[in-house]
Structure 1
Amino acid sequence: MKKSSFVVAALFANLISILPALAQTSTVVNKETRRIEVTGFSEMEVMPDELYFTVSLREYYKDEKNQKDKVQINVLEKQLVQAVTEAGLPKEALSVSGVGGYQRYWEKDKKPSTFLESKQYQLKVERADKLDGILSKVDSRGIQSAHMSRADHSRKEEFKNQVKVEALKNAKEKAAFLLNAIGEKAGPVLEIRELEEGASYPQPMYRSSLHVASVEADGVPDSDLDYQKIKLSYRMQAVFEIK
């Protein structure tokens, strides 16, 4: 009786030891999905319609030799604000970007003080010739400098999305073309990834120097500026099933 019990226990122990192996051999192996991975590319060039200029105004003396009759910064600022309004631009097109001033060290002991205040403004226009017309109405001796700081487009985000869509379409066309060469067809998309985004913004190229001090108040000269286009480019990676 004891012998029989020992045999049954041994058989039960062996059965437990082989159960994991039986479970492994019964696993169903799925067939791997055939796929193709491609990269699509697209780009777009648009002419900027938002030009941002930095305009710097500075106080000066009408009688520079004797340091008399100072034209204050608030007078120059009023001229600039009035010119912007007359150009048909909204109030938001002009904003203060910096305030400063200078005093030459060898004149510190002179009375009255020769400290001259300066002020920088950001001016947003849609065309460069707007700047010429605006600065022509500001006292030229009070204009220290004017240069373009950046260019942009009001519909940039919309254009970005268009380029992304075109890049993805390009990836699909590329997958179909390659598979057709070997008698296969592309199935549903399995994965989409944005690889990179690229945007190059133009800088002004001068055909001739822009001398704001020489602009006459009663005349608006032609713009001396040319601009490159904004270039938007995107790459989209897509994985498609092979039917």
Structure 2
Amino acid sequence: MKKIILSSLLAACALFPAFSQVKYEQQIPSPRIEVAGFAEMEVVPDEIYFNVSLREYFEDEKNQKNKVVISTLEKQLVKALTDAGLPKEALSVSGLGGYQEYTDKKKKPATFLESKQYELKVSSPDKLDGILSKVESRGVQYANVARVDHSKREEFKKQVKIDALKAAKVKADYLVASLDQKLGKVLEIKELDENLYFPQPMFAKANMRTMAQAESADAVAESDISYQKIKISYRMQAAFEIK
């Protein structure tokens, strides 16, 4: 019985180094290369969001008579929007407010005038003048650009990521080839960073009229607005096996 146990132990000791060697060899990682690729795209914005504020006023300011209410101005704005071929969804209410009109600094305010703010989405700045020209100019408190965007931004982001990853593969390919080696299968992909730049508009002319101070609703100055491009860039990291 003792001889059988001893023989088994000797056999196990003989096999252990072989198993250890196999396990050790399996832990040795394959040669690999890790590189980062970069890609960038610039696009002209096709979605421009304007902040527009309407406010009530008196046709006879001196005597505070014949008040033009906010609902009248809003109807004019909505009709102008429809005439321009824009959907109702292009206009949304962003705020409400008002101010008190004084006839005399020593007296109490005679009335409260309401104001209403909107966000107007257009495809180009040229459409803004056409729309606001159909609203009573004294009822337009201000109009300015809030932000810009592009309708296909998500599609562009995907394309830039793909281009960055392809750039990483090209870099890895020529680096490995310089060592007389070949690139193998991809082992790992990481998204390093995202950079989206949405510029504010640059007004090329300083004589953009103040809507509330225009002589009439037809006295619309020609707008000349140039926009910087939206920049989308990505860095992608990839690891490849070296054959």
> Which TM bucket (shorter chain)?
0.7 to 0.9
Q: Which whole-Å deviations, capped at 9, do the CAs of 1:160-210 have from their partners, x for residues lacking one?
A: 110000000000000011111221221110000111111101211112242
Please name the residue that 1:233 is paired with: 233
Give the 3-state SS of the residue equivalent to 1:101 in structure 2: strand
2:169 aligned with 1:176: no
2:185 aligned with 1:188: yes
How many angstroms does 1:25 deviate by?
Answer: 6.5
Alpha-carbon separation, structure 2, partners of 1:84 and 1:178: 58
Alpha-carbon separation, structure 2, partners of 1:141 and 1:20: 99
Q: Which whole-Å deviations, capped at 9, do the CAs of 1:86-126 have from their partners, x for residues lacking one?
A: 11111111111111112269879647x42110000111100
TM-aligned CA distance change 1:215 to 1:173, over 3 Å: farther
On the 8 A contact 1:200/1:232 being kept in 2, the answer is yes
Q: Which amino acid aligns with 1:85?
A: T
Percent identity of paired positions between Structure 1 and Structure 2 = 60
Aligned pairs (5 A) from 1:65-76:
65-76=62-73
Give the 3-state SS of the residue equivalent to 1:70 in structure 2: strand
On the 8 A contact 2:208/2:221 being kept in 1, the answer is no
Please name the residue that 1:26 is paired with: 19
Alpha-carbon separation, structure 2, partners of 1:107 and 1:217: 30
Alpha-carbon separation, structure 2, partners of 1:108 and 1:46: 56
Alpha-carbon separation, structure 2, partners of 1:82 and 1:239: 58
Alignment root-mean-square deviation, CA = 2.8
Please name the residue that 1:56 is paired with: 53
Q: Which amino acid aligns with 1:26?
A: F
The equivalent position to 1:129 in structure 2, one of 118, 126, 129, is 126
Aligned pairs (5 A) from 1:100-111:
100-103=97-100, 110=108
TM-aligned CA distance change 1:32 to 1:62, over 3 Å: same
TM-aligned CA distance change 1:20 to 1:160, over 3 Å: farther
Give the 3-state SS of the residue equivalent to 2:111 in structure 1: coil
TM-score in terms of structure 1 length: 0.85
Is there any run of 5+ residues in structure 2 with no aligned partner, and where?
Answer: none
TM-score in terms of structure 2 length: 0.85
Please name the residue that 2:135 is paired with: 138
Q: Which whole-Å deviations, capped at 9, do the CAs of 1:27-54 have from their partners, x for residues lacking one?
A: 2222321000000000100111111111
Q: Which whole-Å deviations, capped at 9, do the CAs of 1:133-166 have from their partners, x for residues lacking one?
A: 1111111111111011111111111111100000
TM-aligned CA distance change 1:132 to 1:225, over 3 Å: same
Give the 3-state SS of the residue equivalent to 2:98 in structure 1: strand
Alpha-carbon separation, structure 2, partners of 1:194 and 1:150: 27
Please name the residue that 1:223 is paired with: 223
Aligned pairs (5 A) from 1:27-42:
27=20, 28=22, 29-30=25-26, 31-42=28-39
Alpha-carbon separation, structure 2, partners of 1:25 and 1:109: 104
Q: Which whole-Å deviations, capped at 9, do the CAs of 1:1-35 have from their partners, x for residues lacking one?
A: xxxx9xx5xx87xx69xx79974773222232100
Mean CA deviation greater in 114-123 or 165-174: 114-123
Is there any run of 5+ residues in structure 1 with no aligned partner, and where?
Answer: none
Greater Cα radius of gyration, structure 1 or 2: 1
On the 8 A contact 1:76/1:142 being kept in 2, the answer is yes
On the 8 A contact 1:41/1:234 being kept in 2, the answer is yes
* Equivalent residue pairs, number: 233
On the 8 A contact 2:137/2:217 being kept in 1, the answer is no
